[in-house]
Structure 1
């Protein structure tokens, strides 16, 4: 495990798990949204695809997304492992709602100075609305990608509950990139 994609629905906890996994493996973690949104007003980096290609060309990385259409094929070709947080909608929706509410009320800065605002809650691309509307299509796309024979060498770890992912993460030796001996528990 040296080039890892952590994928799943909005609100599944991809960034949190990817960050911890990167630390435990001693592998650089890159937050794809932070690379994509480069300034206030949700400005998008015109060099986003090139920046992601540079990261993907390195020997080791952890990224927390299945990628935008312009970088997705590259990431899936270069990854050696996919960690899929395939949690039910009733798990991810409360998470994304709590996160967005906290970010809005506390005016937390995210992704290079951007903030979630009350008016954004009424937009179709607000994280809560996006999580709801994209849940089934994202799940179908991930099912197709993780079962694609062309990507057969790609090792996929699929977790259907947060406790499964936490249990697995505990088996990764902190800072060493090795699994601990003995059963995962």
Structure 2
């Protein structure tokens, strides 16, 4: 495992897992949201986003955290491993709600030098709510990753499906032993 993409629905725990995995392997942790979001919640254009992504993925070792389905042709071109964090719907929704609540209270900047913080209003009362996004994409993400695992186009990829936090920890703990 040298080039790893960790995927999963928003709130699934992919960022937590990605950081844990990157730390264990001593690889750079690359967060797609940090590449995409500009200050004041401005989105990068696809041209900007794709160029940044291609530049970051030029290195030999990395753990890439994120979905962004439109980037699959770029990120999966040379990836050797995709780790799918596929926790239950109830677990994923609980984690998304808990994270949104905590972030709206702490006002922690999400990505360096963006000033982007989550607010209660944006998280719970907006059409752009990450919780609403989790509700809308959970099922379609599961279908997409199940299909990708059996797609001959991706036979060069080792797919690993992790279905619980306990299994995630065991997977990381087992590395390097």
Q: Which residue of 1 aligns with 2:4?
A: 4
After TM superposition, list the pairs within 5 Å mapping 1:18-167 onto structure 2.
18-40=18-40, 42-46=41-45, 47-69=48-70, 71-111=71-111, 112-120=114-122, 121-167=124-170
How many Å apart are 1:150 and its aligned residue? Answer: 1.2
What SS is found at the alignment partner of 2:4? strand
How many Å apart are 1:172 and its aligned residue? Answer: 1.5
Say what the alpha-carbon RMSD is for the aligned residues.
1.3
TM-score, structure 1 as length reference: 0.88
In structure 2, runs of 5+ residues without a counterpart are: none
Cα separation, 2, equivalents of 1:38 and 1:154 = 31
How many Å apart are 1:72 and its aligned residue? Answer: 2.0
How many Å apart are 1:32 and its aligned residue? Answer: 0.7
Cα separation, 2, equivalents of 1:36 and 1:57 = 17
Q: How many residues align?
A: 172
**Larger helix percent:** 2
- Confirm or deny: 8 A CA contact 1:5 1:81 kept in the other structure: yes
Give structure 1 regions of 4+ aligned residues with deviation exceeding 6 angstroms: none
In structure 1, runs of 5+ residues without a counterpart are: 174-179, 181-185
Cα separation, 2, equivalents of 1:160 and 1:50 = 33
Cα separation, 2, equivalents of 1:22 and 1:102 = 24
